[in-house]
A and B are shown apart, each in its own frame.
Chain A
């Protein structure tokens, strides 16, 4: 008897979109249930756009956007946001860079002022650049160099999966490249990519739409108009033969492996892409998922296994080319070859036999919870909608994702699994302690 399907709930957020004369696109999504707002500005530039010889520059530049601007001294941005009771941050991704605040709603105009001011121009000085190169180096040390499995797999798998510089290089950057960065580089980068026509502003939460429109026009209306640069094509052909590398991590006590397969274009072919997002969860979400049951509990071949879409785990915020990733940590003396063979076996089984009764529905219900939970935070809504506007012109997609995921069929997941063949796979293995295998 087929299992009753859990009803996938929908949350429809109201969405207003408009474009200012200078080309800045704006998304508003009001929700007055709590007196807080989320403000996000997303620029259509990321790691893939940084020039050769300047690895890590998109991220370094993100730091420079916090170092003062036309009307704001260094430190002022932080103090004004936090002094209004808010929090802030920014982050650099493959295809975009975001800047954001969560604030009590009485600080709306202040947040708009702060974002508009740095959109007009950050204060790019030699002193601030040197200071932030030092800070970024410490960030890389704490997140990569001074810890086990640093950068695994988000920095170590792309060079195996991809061949071209934009897709393959280290997005945190080499110390040499970071130290060679100049104020002139930063000014060029700003002029080229931080254009009003290349940005999206999103505001969510406790706002009156009409008032927000007035304030946005007041603060962003006179940001000089500059068009978006042409976005290069980052496409690369799919793999035709398996690729596999290994490296020693002196700090890692146990082996680990990650594999990736290219997937359809997340933006241009969303309908074909979505089943892969579901497949990753069917394989790895919780004790009832296929790979956890098989690899962790039955075979005891791995201690943890995870799967996701997008090198940075951002399935709906990434453009082509991207991948489905599986990663596993192994017990002492674990056999990576055997783990990869078992992956193939389980993917074959799924491709041939399809899903068990109820397996897809329960996975979809769990995915709905994760999506709804992420969008419960006002900032989650502003950020996701800003990127959806930028990459697809479709911010309202956020509210539809749970039901679209719920419409993915057994047959689509089965077909997706059938494409994850070993000859299309790129893998990277971590050899613990630099010892022999």
Chain B
């Protein structure tokens, strides 16, 4: 096959066509008297509607918070859990609840013709969830089992250690409840947490899909206008700065891979460095065509899916580079990681290299808003930073302006290996000696 390319004249890669301008969909917004902000975006591609509702939920008791998300849809005065599920199904709908350290999030999707009913059912649980003892008992056991399964997964274990290492005494440091604490939660505690915190003030509801914005705002107001409750003071302290120190080694005897996580300081979406840092992260390891992936996967075959990502939370942002590598190449993989971070922090990237990352960042903005689900999640996440969809256009303009020097400058501030916090989960007996040749190593407990 390779002989053909010698005799055949090379074919030229066709140029790209003219860039299509970023076009934002039609949207409308209303803040209701109870403090709930409703944002509606019209994208009628398929006859569905996507729903995202989040409310501030920082600093709740972890066990109660997690169990509340598992039981929020388990019944009200007038409806059983099965009835709620069946009524949602009738309109092709479904709702589920989740928790992060800042917020309680309810998400779902259904047929556009069922929007009013979906909102009614949402209001029913927001104002009337009564946490029946039987269902709470079942969900409590399931949550405990789920935590036990999570604790057998390397990804969860290394994440747990990394959060503890990054956040120390900050509330973000622990994000999974202890099974014993879950077992102690009674329905009364859930009812009381619901009464204290499941409130509209400061909450944001996003509806995206085949709907008319003004009409959808009216429907949301009609269904949710009767939901009451004051805001809860936001008292999440800022995240502590990363404190570089010895590499944390978490032992997992017999592990056939090492799960390596490197945390670096990042900035929120609204920070002037955000666009340049996003591009620096892409050049380093944030997409497949990055230096890190081309090095440790495509050149050396150490790993399958290395990736680095900037995570935004209310109290701070952090960049996490993650790779699961073969046990025998753990130290070499860390060496290459440090090398690539150091190179970007000290030597300007190529102009073409930056341009490629920029085109990826701009193109994936377009792709991200081309589905109802993607649009809904983005609008909801932006609202979490006090931003609206217009920010997308501003961000695109900032990405367009970032130069090579800007990337080097932010990389020196944020991606320098001297700022890194590293955690490795793996078979300590097989990897600790070679890791110790690269960095001071401290052994950390599994949980």
Give chain A residues whose Cβ lies under 8 Å from the Cβ of B98. none
Beyond A296-B142, A369-B111, whether A85 also contacts B359 by CB under 8 A is: yes
Give chain B residues whose Cβ lies under 8 Å from the Cβ of A123. 1-2
Which B364-410 residues have C-beta < 8 A from chain A? 364, 366-367, 369-373
- CB of B349 within 8 A of chain A? no
Which A50-86 residues have C-beta < 8 A from chain B? 70-71, 74-75, 78-80, 82-86
Among candidates B48, B86, B110, B304, residue contacting A138 with C-beta atoms closer than 8 Å: B304
Contact B289 A78 (CB under 8 A): yes
- CB of B135 within 8 A of chain A? yes
Give chain A residues whose Cβ lies under 8 Å from the Cβ of B8. 70
Beyond A7-B113, A253-B149, A375-B46, whether A83 also contacts B373 by CB under 8 A is: no
- CB of A216 within 8 A of chain B? no
Mark each residue of chain A from 92 to 112: 1 if its CB lies under 8 Å from any CB of chain B, else 0.
Answer: 000000000011111111100
Contact B326 A138 (CB under 8 A): yes
Give chain B residues whose Cβ lies under 8 Å from the Cβ of A132. 301
CA distance A78 to B145 in the complex (A): 41
Which B146-165 residues have C-beta < 8 A from chain A? 146, 148-149, 151-155
Among candidates B1, B83, B141, B289, residue contacting A121 with C-beta atoms closer than 8 Å: B1
- CB of B215 within 8 A of chain A? no
Among candidates A74, A79, A104, A300, residue contacting B363 with C-beta atoms closer than 8 Å: A104
Which of B1, B94, B110, B135 gathers the greatest number of chain A CB atoms within 10 Å? B1
Stretch of A268-276, A284-292, A340-348, A385-393 with 4 or more beta carbons under 8 angstroms from chain B: A284-292
Which A364-380 residues have C-beta < 8 A from chain B? 365-366, 368-369, 372-373, 375-378
Beyond A70-B11, A293-B82, whether A378 also contacts B146 by CB under 8 A is: no
Contact B45 A33 (CB under 8 A): yes
Among candidates A84, A86, A138, A206, residue contacting B301 with C-beta atoms closer than 8 Å: A138
Mark each residue of chain B from 278 to 305: 1 if its CB lies under 8 Å from any CB of chain A, else 0.
Answer: 0000000001110000100111111111
CA distance A148 to B302 in the complex (A): 22
Residue of B nearest to A287 (CB): B85
Contact B148 A378 (CB under 8 A): no
Contact B141 A368 (CB under 8 A): no
Give chain B residues whose Cβ lies under 8 Å from the Cβ of A251. 152
Contact B92 A376 (CB under 8 A): no
Contact A303 B257 (CB under 8 A): no
Give chain B residues whose Cβ lies under 8 Å from the Cβ of A121. 1, 4
Among candidates B1, B94, B289, residue contacting A366 with C-beta atoms closer than 8 Å: B94
Beyond A83-B355, A104-B367, A105-B20, whether A368 also contacts B154 by CB under 8 A is: no
- CB of A227 within 8 A of chain B? no
- CB of B351 within 8 A of chain A? no
- CB of A361 within 8 A of chain B? yes
Stretch of A139-147, A154-162, A313-321 with 4 or more beta carbons under 8 angstroms from chain B: A139-147
Beyond A110-B14, A372-B46, whether A138 also contacts B302 by CB under 8 A is: yes
Residues of A that sit less than 8 Å from B by CB: 3, 6-7, 9, 11, 31, 33-36, 70-71, 74-75, 78-80, 82-88, 102-110, 113, 117, 120-125, 130-139, 141-142, 145-148, 187, 190, 206, 250-254, 285-288, 293, 296-297, 300, 303-304, 329, 331-332, 358, 361-363, 365-366, 368-369, 372-373, 375-378
Of all A-B residue pairs in the complex, the 9 with the closest CB atoms, nearest first, are A85-B363, A134-B301, A106-B17, A369-B92, A287-B85, A362-B89, A288-B85, A83-B356, A288-B86
| Selected A-B contacts with CB under 8 Å, 20 pairs | A6-B90, A6-B114, A9-B112, A70-B11, A85-B359, A109-B14, A113-B11, A120-B4, A139-B304, A141-B256, A253-B149, A286-B94, A287-B85, A288-B82, A288-B83, A297-B135, A303-B141, A304-B142, A331-B141, A377-B370
Known contacts A138-B304, A329-B145, then 17 further A-B pairs from the complex at CB < 8 Å, ordered by chain A residue: A9-B113, A36-B370, A71-B10, A78-B289, A83-B359, A107-B16, A121-B4, A124-B1, A125-B2, A135-B298, A135-B303, A147-B152, A253-B149, A286-B94, A303-B145, A362-B90, A376-B45
